[in-house]
Structure 1
């Protein structure tokens, strides 16, 4: 399998007259898709109504894990009807210290709960993004039948 390439345009305009006055608002754009309105974290003078890079990183890690997990469940014949993740990230003033995924999954067959729970370790092992981070990405899943 060859290299995969991803291109995203990040667009900002304004004037940087001083640190306190310039807008942190920007957009991430990919042709054919809606733009993602971005800003800095509000504690760094950003707009709280827009996504900040830290939130996007945590979301990307949660999505990568979820997509691998659903793939593995489908391959194993485990029916999943709901997947929700209340992912959290912690950082200090210089870097992320860790991200914890908190997925809550509903499967169709109560006899497959343990097997579904075990697939999180394999999803974590296969997640491209988690494998690219220089901080721990952990998961604390809950799997229920419903």
Structure 2
């Protein structure tokens, strides 16, 4: 069995001088780093006292699902004879809070990829290949909520 490992560092940068001596006394700011890459400035969701100018874990989860779908989709298109010339996804995730207000979980992610193909003869296959991605996408296969997709297929210069 082949395995792949992924190591990241999450470094809290939000000590405002008194650490976590009170729920409101510290910033949720942190950086996400991996293998010498530029750090990602992150925080918690603004609803949980985070900085709205920084990425939050919930956005990063939705991003991961959308990225994985796109990368597998482009692979399937390349090996299946579909020439994609543009791809943009406006992904949407829903997190539902528990009634107690103390926790929550994602209940769905909807991917809305807008794909432009080079030729009209490729449009139907381009649409169908989205359905094959879920069986391959590592991230979508790892989450316990539905990931759906609503693709829009366009033809270049049409």
User: Shared fold by TM > 0.5?
Assistant: yes
Asked if residue 9 in structure 1 is aligned to residue 9 in structure 2, the reply is yes
2:24 corresponds in structure 1 to: 20
Is the partner of 1:3 in helix, strand or coil? coil
2:62 corresponds in structure 1 to: 58
1:110 corresponds in structure 2 to: 120
Report the aligned-residue RMSD: 0.8
Is the partner of 1:72 in helix, strand or coil? helix
Mapping of residues 1-146 of structure 1, within 5 Å: 1-13=1-13, 14=15, 15-93=19-97, 94-146=104-156
Post-superposition Cα deviations, 1:104-140, rounded to whole Å, max 9, x if no partner, equal 0000011110001000011122111000001111111
Post-superposition Cα deviations, 1:86-116, rounded to whole Å, max 9, x if no partner, equal 0000011210010000000000011110001
* Higher helix proportion (structure 1 or 2): 1
Report the structure number with the largest CA radius of gyration: 2
Distance in 1 separating the partners of 2:21 and 2:71: 43
4+ runs deviating over 2 angstroms: none
Distance in 2 separating the partners of 1:96 and 1:82: 29
Is the partner of 2:41 in helix, strand or coil? strand
Tell me the CA shift for residue 31 of structure 1.
2.1
Distance in 1 separating the partners of 2:125 and 2:150: 15
Structure 2 residues without counterparts, runs of 5 or longer = 98-103
Instruction: Name which of structure 1's ranges 30-39 and 54-63 shifts more when overlaid on structure 2.
Output: 30-39
TM-score when normalising by structure 2: 0.90
